[in-house]
Amino acid sequence: MSFRDLHTPGHPFILANAWDAGSAKMLAALGAPAIATSSAAHAFTLGRPDGGTVTRDEALAHAQDLMAAVNLPVSGDFENGFGHTPDDCAETVRLSGEIGLAGISIEDAAMPDDKAYPLDQATDRIHAAAAAARALKNDFVLVARADGVMNGHYDIDEALTRIRAFDAAGADCLYVPLPKSMDDLKRVIAATSKPVNVLVAGAYSDVPLADYAAIGAARLSLGSALARVTHRAIFDTAHAMFDTGDFTGLGQGISGNKIDKMLG
């Protein structure tokens, strides 16, 4: 099944965001149908905070590492397309297609700040990205993100206006990360006939896959949530070691043999 064909409303697949070749291979071995990068998790591996701290060249090289590690479609979490102009977004799509990525997502937050681009500019950026995607030799799934609800810069009504505009501009999949309620998420899904991605993080991690299917979601991405689980383990275990001399957390890891089998 192609990456595009995985995007079926009402039958959501889990797009597993990895942060290095090892995590990508483990997720593939455990059943992931496709892999994505995570801009935040990638930044963490470089010792940097999230939010516009990774360059386009670094992101593309990182994506190539994941592509080399697995025989699955890989999609890029490419923040604002690594530039403010429509041409920047188009060039990011072109370069992504050249290395063989199955698709990328582009958000409407003006990195390194998270303030939203004006609607007209945000729409023009997606229009240019979509035109570049259609000019590629390989099929390419362009995801347009409206991040202002998550970032606190606009409300759900503005998000709906934006995803409708992004839909008309040629995006293949729409995405409003972390609406304030499931009712708002239902409104997002109802606003377009195209596939909708849901970020499974925060309160949305308490919702089972069946409930997402019932409201018509097409794709469930993890963002940096899985990477943050590993950082939670480091944080808790290290606190116990350095604060109280307690090493018991080190005995809770998965066995090396199991990891070796997945990486083999």
Beta bridge partners of 249: none
Asked if residue 34 belongs to a domain, the reply is yes
Does the model's pTM come out above 0.75?
Answer: yes
Which among 30, 25, 22 is positioned nearest to 14, based on CA atoms?
Answer: 30
Query: Could you tell me if residue 133 is inside a domain?
Result: yes
First to last CA, the chain: 24
- Answer yes or no: is 242 within a domain: no
Residue 264 placed within a domain: no
| Cα–Cα distance measured from residue 40 to residue 216, given in angstroms and rounded to the nearest whole number | 27
Structural domain of residue 196, as residue ranges?
3-200+208-225
Residue 236 counted as domain residue:
no
Whether 33 maps to a domain, the answer reads yes
**Cα(132)–Cα(90) distance, integer angstroms:** 5
Return d(Cα 4, Cα 202) in angstroms, integer.
27
Vertex 108, ends 106 and 109: CA angle to 5°? 110
In a domain, 185, yes or no: yes
CB-based burial of residue 250 (10 Å sphere; 0-12 exposed, 13-18 middle, 19+ buried)?
Answer: exposed
Residue at 239 is within a domain? no
The number of C-alpha atoms within 13 Å of 3 and in the hemisphere containing its C-beta is 24
pLDDT of the residue at 188: 98
> 18 CB contacts (<8 Å, ≥6 apart)?
24, 27, 35, 36, 37, 38, 41, 66
User: CA-CA distance, 122 to 205, in Å (whole number)?
Assistant: 29
CATH number at residue 32: 3.20.20.60
Strands 141-145 vs 34-36: parallel, antiparallel or unpaired = unpaired
Number of structural domains found in the chain? 1
What's residue 1's pLDDT?
86
Question: How far is residue 264's CA from residue 258's CA, in Å, rounded to a whole number?
Answer: 10
- From first to last of its 264 residues, what are the pLDDT tens digits of the chain? 899 999 999 999 999 999 999 999 999 999 999 999 999 999 999 999 999 899 999 999 999 999 999 999 999 999 999 999 999 999 999 999 999 999 999 999 999 999 999 999 999 999 999 999 999 999 999 999 999 999 999 999 999 999 999 999 999 999 999 999 999 999 999 999 999 999 999 999 999 999 999 999 999 999 999 999 999 999 999 999 999 999 999 999 999 999 999 998
